Amino acid sequence: MEHTRIKELLNASEFGQEVVVKGWVKTFRNNQFIAINDGSSIHNIQAVVDFENTDDSLLKRVTTGAAVRVKGQLIESLGKGQRVEVKVTELSILGDSDPEKFPLQPKKHSLEFLREIAHLRFRTNVFNAVFKVRNALSFAVHQFFNERDFVYMHTPIITGSDAEGAGEMFRVTTLDLNNIPRNEAGEIDYKEDFFGKSTNLTVSGQLEGELAAMALGNIYTFGPTFRAENSNTTRHLAEFWMIEPEMAFYELEDNMDLAESLLKYVIKYALENCQDEIEFLNNRLLEEEKNKPAAERSELNLIDKLNFCLSSDFERVTYTEAIEILKRSKPNQKKQFKYLIDEWGADLQSEHERFLVEKHFKKPVILVDYPAEIKSFYMKQNDVDEHGRKTVRAMDILFPGIGEMVGGSQREENLEKLLNRMQEVGVPQEELDWFLDTRRFGTAPHSGFGVGFERLVLFVTGMTNIRDVIPFPRTPNNAEF
Amino acid sequence: MEHTRIKELLNASEFGQEVVVKGWVKTFRNNQFIAINDGSSIHNIQAVVDFENTDDSLLKRVTTGAAVRVKGQLIESLGKGQRVEVKVTELSILGDSDPEKFPLQPKKHSLEFLREIAHLRFRTNVFNAVFKVRNALSFAVHQFFNERDFVYMHTPIITGSDAEGAGEMFRVTTLDLNNIPRNEAGEIDYKEDFFGKSTNLTVSGQLEGELAAMALGNIYTFGPTFRAENSNTTRHLAEFWMIEPEMAFYELEDNMDLAESLLKYVIKYALENCQDEIEFLNNRLLEEEKNKPAAERSELNLIDKLNFCLSSDFERVTYTEAIEILKRSKPNQKKQFKYLIDEWGADLQSEHERFLVEKHFKKPVILVDYPAEIKSFYMKQNDVDEHGRKTVRAMDILFPGIGEMVGGSQREENLEKLLNRMQEVGVPQEELDWFLDTRRFGTAPHSGFGVGFERLVLFVTGMTNIRDVIPFPRTPNNAEF
């Protein structure tokens, strides 16, 4: 007899039928009530054992973490806290769990502890909820683009180019580190390496994405990207997933519209498809907040915050306007910012972004037209303004509690301007000659952006450490499991 | 005025409205007819220019590969080969394309040549079709699992474990190869490396997938995997994408059912959603076959072959039965096989797999219960048979023209048996202790499999070289773009 998943049983409207349940024991109370979870729901099903007619030796093996199979009748529950339960006629143990050794006890564990046993934390309610939400957001991303006829491109992970300059890179090699081959000049001979040259892990699929967009029109990537930066923060990972759409014939305004639609679409999808999980995470946060002083508590709970994002138009502001707002702001005047804003050209820090979003506009903000100096070489150059300032058609989308969720721009489609800028910032033309071909043969206005997927998951789950929203986080000195 | 994508215009049922089209010139005939493509369809739209009232200098810039914008009236076409066309009132060049330099001329290019300009091949019909089909198959994979409540898991790309033994690995490092740090014993000091230990690119997400399945129930991965093998064949890549579902409480039969459903679902999705593209690829193959001697031509065309797969039950055969069939087969008797099959235990080569699928059963075949010796340590051990033979609950799905499309198994859930097997084949227990925890705490029967995504795309597109179905192929001595 096949088993039925618990999610289905919990939603059953007919009672009386015989069912088989397989799952893991969460708790066992009074030698009678087994709470079983099979991962399909964050809710357990209660199995009621006829303990007087069950072997004691069998009952003793019903411990937290053990895998069990129960067969019985699905009935309406008379107890509190559940609508249905299984009146057990057959109980068997599929796999034991020694209660002395199983690290997950039926109590609250700290997230830090769970991070150390990342291979088992999937069995907790909080990580069940987090990874269900992550799954829903992933699917929503694909569905959003599919509905709009975008082509999903798998851009390469291993790259021979290190010119994008988005960050420090990891080397990929098959050279024997104990016996590095050298050429006649005594330099490392990468001709002996697997790809016949020096290769790294990608920091972005954008450049390859542009190639595809300048042929297929609208494309997106959704894949892993890497930074070999020694940042031990709650917002950085060495390996993380990015979504990077790239659209031919899009100007910056179209780009902003698309990014805002995408974010709203996926948040709405998660709210509609992960009600149980988001409600659980919402309650979890409310509990956490109780321990904080009143002043530090959030004004909105998680669900309200998500709904608020859906109903707000994101505020579109130029960098120059933002600098004026920040200059005049109380924390700047009172020197409460760590980095004071005193002139145009300053790079915005997290504290400034958060002030704009959380205090000033109180909603997601799209900042545009950044100084060219602090942005990448491939961004479209605006005309120099009346003060002689050079800006580019960049856009960053800032979210409450997160900071930068999206970074994007219209791309510089003019070959000459692009070459000049590359020379100014020292990007060697030879390395990107293939990329420049898009500007040589039928160039056209085009735009794109990148979404840090884990930051999106952070926002929707209300988690605060990015290591808690990816299954197996990779950070400096940590590549466990 | 916003532009409309060509796919939409080609499907328009109303005529007379003013439209704007942006795209790239494919051909320009008689100084009058521009075939424009914007990537949204493999079909072009014809724009008819009033050349007598258009500047000659402008018309000269309408060259293959140039990006243009045309505005005009959408009308029913009187010419052959198209239903609609645009009667142009405004023409402008967005980006020129020097016809002397643009590598893609309006003629047939070889796939080998296009591989060398992989950054431009997206603009050809054949690669437009291939990458649209690839996109449809990707989406279908996600939709299939989403409909069945599977959780999409992003298993790690960088891994500290090299114990899976699926193949040669790429090293990931931030050590300075010119100055490798060494410890007191003179060995390479990986404590100085980014992750504080030796790390590689993953060869499979399976082990991490098992951890998640033994908590969340049903999960799947879909991500890049790597092999540092020096194979220059039409079937191997150093970087490729794999789909790896893993299901708690599934036995081998359930595993086979799921794999067969998945393959049929995604092939059906592609047939329904990429009709134009698959028809184009079908015709392309028919053209190619004309150049072959009659004996080498396929019995079925591409579309028939795909439909045939959908309507057939995959043949389920044990390895032992397959060996008997192969032993008695004509090519074995006549010594036409390169590797003759003379006894039980032989590893099957591509020639044997193809014989079984293409000649004997003439449909996809699922081979099960392979000798333990030629399969991985983690596969569930069958009872030793009456001849003393050890087999495992493995399954390989073999496809016509492709060979192995899927490899999977029920997993060995018994800790003791698993440990014994690891010791036999020399997999160190310490390295996989985290993995073994699934067998220590609530172990249960579970199964999974891996689908090589590029092989699936090969099958559905009818392409023959795996480098032609991934945007930027990575192979020995090749990591361009």
Is A30 exposed, middle or buried, given 0-12, 13-18 or 19+ CB atoms closer than 10 A?
A: exposed
In percent, how much of chain B has pLDDT > 90? 93
Q: Please judge whether A481 and B24 are an interchain contact, meaning their C-beta atoms are less than 8 angstroms apart.
A: no
| Residue showing tokens 């081979």 | B367
CA distances from A53 to A49, A57, A214, B228 (A): 9, 12, 72, 59
Query: What mean pLDDT comes out for the span B428-432?
Result: 91
- A241 pairs with which residues across the strands? A224
Closest C-alpha to B250, from B222, B214, B221, B212: B214
| Residue showing tokens 């997938």 | B209
Mutate which: A97, A198, A216, vs B, most B CBs within 10 A: A216
Contact, A24 vs B442, CB < 8 A? yes
By CA distance, what is B192's nearest residue in A?
A477
Q: Which residue intervals of A377-452 are DSSP H helices?
A: 415-425, 433-440
Residue A63 and residue A57: Cα distance in Å, rounded?
Answer: 12
Q: Chain B: nearest CA to A339, how far in angstroms?
A: 30
Residue A219 and residue A422: Cα distance in Å, rounded?
Answer: 25
The reply to whether B27 touches chain A by the CB within 8 Å rule is: no
Residues of A in contact with B457 (CB under 8 A): none
Q: Chain A: nearest CA to B342, how far in angstroms?
A: 37
**3-class DSSP assignment, residue A329:** coil
Q: Please judge whether B180 and A175 are an interchain contact, meaning their C-beta atoms are less than 8 angstroms apart.
A: no
Contact, B475 vs B237, CB < 8 A? yes
Q: Please judge whether B173 and A175 are an interchain contact, meaning their C-beta atoms are less than 8 angstroms apart.
A: no
Give the pLDDT confidence score for residue B298 in this predicted structure: 81
Residue A310 and residue B25: Cα distance in Å, rounded?
Answer: 40
B85-98 tens-digit pLDDT? 999 999 999 999 99
* Buried-exposed string B9-18: b where 16+ CB fall within 10 A, e elsewhere: bbeeeeeeee
Phi, psi at residue B430, to the nearest 5°? -55, -40
Question: Which domains are seen in chain B, by residue range?
Answer: 6-107 (2.40.50.140), 125-167+203-468 (3.30.930.10)
pLDDT surpasses 80 at B167: no
Is B298 exposed, middle or buried, given 0-12, 13-18 or 19+ CB atoms closer than 10 A?
A: middle
- A449 pairs with which residues across the strands? A408
Give the pLDDT confidence score for residue A164 in this predicted structure: 60
Q: Please judge whether A180 and B180 are an interchain contact, meaning their C-beta atoms are less than 8 angstroms apart.
A: yes
Give A76's contacts (C-beta < 8 A, 6+ positions apart): A15, A83, A84, A85
Residue B212 and residue B233: Cα distance in Å, rounded?
Answer: 34
Query: What mean pLDDT comes out for the span B308-328?
Result: 97
The reply to whether B201 touches chain A by the CB within 8 Å rule is: yes
Amino acid at B133: V
Query: For each successive 10 residues of chain A (481 residues), what is the average pLDDT?
Result: 93 94 97 97 97 96 98 92 94 97 91 95 97 98 98 97 75 96 96 97 96 98 96 94 98 98 98 98 94 84 95 97 97 97 94 95 97 96 95 97 95 98 93 95 98 98 97 97 92
By CA distance, what is B163's nearest residue in A?
A481
Listed by number, the residues of chain A in 66-125 with a beta carbon closer than 8 Å to a beta carbon of chain B are 66-67, 94-98, 101-102, 119-120, 122-123
CA distances from A337 to A331, A340, A350, A363, B69 (A): 6, 6, 10, 20, 49
Give the pLDDT confidence score for residue B163 in this predicted structure: 61
Residue B375 and residue B381: Cα distance in Å, rounded?
Answer: 11
**3-class DSSP assignment, residue A456:** helix
Residue B472 and residue B479: Cα distance in Å, rounded?
Answer: 8
**pLDDT band at residue B172 using 50, 70 and 90 as cut-offs:** very high
Q: Chain B: nearest CA to A355, how far in angstroms?
A: 33
Closest C-alpha to B198, from A176, A226, A180: A176
Q: Which residue among A149, A215, A477 places its CB closest to the CB of B196? A: A477
Q: Which residue among B66, B159, B217 places its CB closest to the CB of A479? A: B159
By CA distance, what is B173's nearest residue in A?
A171
Residue A369 and residue A293: Cα distance in Å, rounded?
Answer: 39
**pLDDT band at residue B395 using 50, 70 and 90 as cut-offs:** very high
CA distances from A39 to A128, A315, B207, B248 (A): 7, 40, 18, 10
A177-189 tens-digit pLDDT? 999 999 999 999 9
H/E segment holding residue B114? helix B111-116
The reply to whether B247 touches chain A by the CB within 8 Å rule is: no
Phi/psi zone of residue A442: left (φ > 0), alpha (ψ -120 to 50 degrees), beta? left
Q: Chain A: nearest CA to B217, how far in angstroms?
A: 5
Closest C-alpha to B223, from A369, A239, A326: A239
Contact, B70 vs B47, CB < 8 A? yes
Contact, A397 vs A314, CB < 8 A? yes
Residue B330 and residue B283: Cα distance in Å, rounded?
Answer: 34
Residue A105 and residue A103: Cα distance in Å, rounded?
Answer: 6
Residue A350 and residue A334: Cα distance in Å, rounded?
Answer: 18
Give B360's contacts (C-beta < 8 A, 6+ positions apart): B325, B329
Q: Please judge whether B180 and A177 are an interchain contact, meaning their C-beta atoms are less than 8 angstroms apart.
A: yes
Residue A285 and residue A462: Cα distance in Å, rounded?
Answer: 7
Residues of B in contact with A180 (CB under 8 A): 177, 180
Q: What is the pTM of this model?
A: 0.97
By CA distance, what is A191's nearest residue in B?
B477
Amino acid at B218: N
Is B254 exposed, middle or buried, given 0-12, 13-18 or 19+ CB atoms closer than 10 A?
A: middle
Phi, psi at residue B76, to the nearest 5°? -70, 140
Residues of A in contact with B38 (CB under 8 A): 217, 248-249
B103-153 tens-digit pLDDT? 998 888 999 999 999 999 999 999 999 999 999 999 999 999 999 999 999
Q: Which residue among B119, B180, B479 places its CB closest to the CB of A199? A: B479
